[in-house]
Amino acid sequence: MLMPPQVTFHGLEHSPELEAVVLDRVSWLEQFYQGIVSCRVLIEAPHRHRRDGRHFHLTIELTVPNSEPIVVSHAPSMHGPLKDTGAGEHLKASETDSVHRYARVAIHDAFDVARRRLQDFARRQRGAVKLHQTPAHGAVSVLMPDEGYGFIEADERQIYFNRASVLDTAFDELSIGKPVAFIEERGDKGPQASTVRVLGKHHYMSK
C-alpha cells in the first residue's frame, strides 16, 4: 500500500487495541488485491445502545487504481430495546472490555464485506483488460524481489510493475531478461504495467 492506513474514532476514545485489529485486517485485505493505494476506516459508536452491549458503525474507504473508491458502510441490526445517551458521551471504563468485544466483531464483519467487494472489483478489472486491451511484449530489465517491484524494457522504454501486477502469483519466477506480456497503463509517476504474464523465450525473440 502506497499510503499508511488511516483509522478514525467517533463517539468513543481512541483505542490502540482496536486500531491494531484494523491494521491487521488491512494487511489481510492485501492478500486479495495488492494494488490498494490507501485505506481509511471510521469507527463510530452510535448515540444509542442496547442494554446488553454496544453496536458500531464502520465505514471503510479503499482507493484503488483507475476506479472510484470502494466504500463499505457496515452497521449491525439495531432492532430491540434501545436507550438514548448523549451524542458526545464517552464510554465508561467499566464498559471497555464489552465494547472492544463488540467492536472487534464489527470490524471483522465489515472487512469481510470489503474483501468481497475488492474481489469483485479485481474480477471486473481483469475482464475489462481481456476485452478491451491488447497486450504488449517486453523483457524484465530491473527486478527488486525484496521490495516487490521491477521494470520491463519495451520499445526502449522502462515500464514499472509490482508483485500485484503479475498473473498467477508468478512474481517469484521472474528473472532479468525474462520475456513477458503486459497491459500498459498510466500511473501517477509514469507508465506502469498490469496483468503481467510470463512468456517463453520464443515469444519475445520473434518480436
Return all residues near 85 (Cβ < 8 A) that are at least 6 apart. Answer: 47, 48, 49
The C-alpha atoms of residue 172 and residue 166 are separated, in whole angstroms, by 10
Among 58-72, 97-111, 191-205, the minimum mean pLDDT is found in 191-205
Which of 15-19, 95-99, 197-201 has the highest average model confidence (pLDDT)?
15-19
Per-residue exposure over 159-168, b if at least 16 CB sit within 10 Å of its own CB, e if not: bbbbbbbbee
Select from 1.10.10.10, 3.40.50.11030, 3.40.1360.10, 3.30.160.100 the CATH code of 6-130: 3.30.160.100
pLDDT of residue 7: 96
Q: What is the DSSP string of 132-150?
A: H-PPEEEEEEEEETTTTEE
The DSSP-derived string for 160-206 is EEEGGGBGGG-GGG--TT-EEEEEEEEETTEEEEEEEEE--HHHHHT
Q: Which architecture characterizes domain 136-205 according to CATH?
A: Beta Barrel (2.40)
The residue extents of the domains of the chain are 6-130, 136-205
CB burial of residue 180 (10 Å; 0-12, 13-18, 19+): buried
Indicate the pLDDT class of residue 52, thresholds 50, 70 and 90. very low
Half-sphere exposure of 70 (CA within 13 A, CB side): 24
pTM of the model: 0.54
Average pLDDT for 155-181: 90
